[in-house]
Amino acid sequence: MSGRFSRWWRGCLPALGLLLLGTTAIAADIRVLGLFDDRAMLFIDGKQRLLKVGETSPEGVKLIRSDSERAVLEIAGKREEFRLGADMHTSMATPDVLRVQIARDNHGMFRTAGAINGIPVSFMVDTGATSIAMSASMAARLGIAFRHEGKPMMVQTASGVVKAWQVMLKTVKVGEIERALVEAAVIEAETGSEILLGMSFLSTVKLEKQNNLLVLEARY
C-alpha cells in the first residue's frame, strides 16, 4: 500500500471532466419485468438488470424515476415512460471511447468524484497503490461486510503494518467509466473519509498525464 494513507484526512473538492468520443448507433430491446419504488427490473438485450434510480445499465439505459406503476428511462439522451410489461426496440448512440479528465489540486494530488456500488464517494488517484483502499469506517458506511466476506491480511501503511481485509467491490465508477468486480482493501486503522483509487481500477483504463490533468480513457 502507498504511504499516502497519512494524507487521507485532507478535504477535497472533486474536479472531473468527461468527453464522449466517436459515437456508434446500436439497437436495444427493452422490456419492463418489475416496478418498485425507486427500482425497476428490466430485460435489456437478453440480460436481466435491476436498476436503482440514478443507475445506468452497462447497455446505457438509465433509470430516472420509478414507482409501482411506471418507470422513466433515459435512453440515448431521451426520456421515455414505461409501464409493467412494456416492450421497446430502439437505437442508442453509444460512445466508442469514454474519457475522464481529473485536475491536480493545490496539494498536487489528483482527486475526483466517483461511486462504489452505486454510492457517491471521493477518490484520490494513487498509481502506487495496488488496489482501491479505504478505512473500515468508510467501508461500513458503504455497506461493505468486509469482516464477514473479506479475506484478512496485513498491509504496510505510513503508520506501520496494520490489519486489513481484501474484498471485491460490485462496481466502481469514475465519470462514465464503470468496472465490475474490482478488488479493494479495507484498512483497520482510521485513515479518514478519502478513498485511494489504486491499480485494481486504474489498470483497466489508459492513463495519460497532460500538464495538470490526468486523463483516463476506456473503450465502451
Q: Is 184 exposed, middle or buried (0-12, 13-18, 19+ CB in 10 A)?
A: buried
Which cell numbers hold the place of 136? 473500515
Rounded average pLDDT per 10-residue block, the chain, 220 residues: 42 39 55 87 84 87 88 81 71 66 88 92 92 93 91 79 91 90 88 84 91 82
The pTM of this model reads 0.59
- Which domain does 133 fall in, by range? 3-19+98-219
Question: Within this chain, do residues 120 and 175 fall inside the same structural domain, yes or no?
Answer: yes
Asked whether 13 and 24 are in contact (CB, 8 A), the reply is no
- The total number of structural domains in the chain stands at 2
- Amino acid 165: pLDDT: 93
Closest-CA residue to 119 (of 93, 133, 148, 139): 139
| Integer Cα distance of 128 and 11 in angstroms | 21
Question: Within this chain, do residues 15 and 29 fall inside the same structural domain, yes or no?
Answer: no
Asked whether 1 and 130 are in contact (CB, 8 A), the reply is yes
- Amino acid 93: pLDDT: 52
Question: Within this chain, do residues 62 and 142 fall inside the same structural domain, yes or no?
Answer: no
Question: Within this chain, do residues 86 and 145 fall inside the same structural domain, yes or no?
Answer: no
Which residue carries 504496510 as its cell?
156
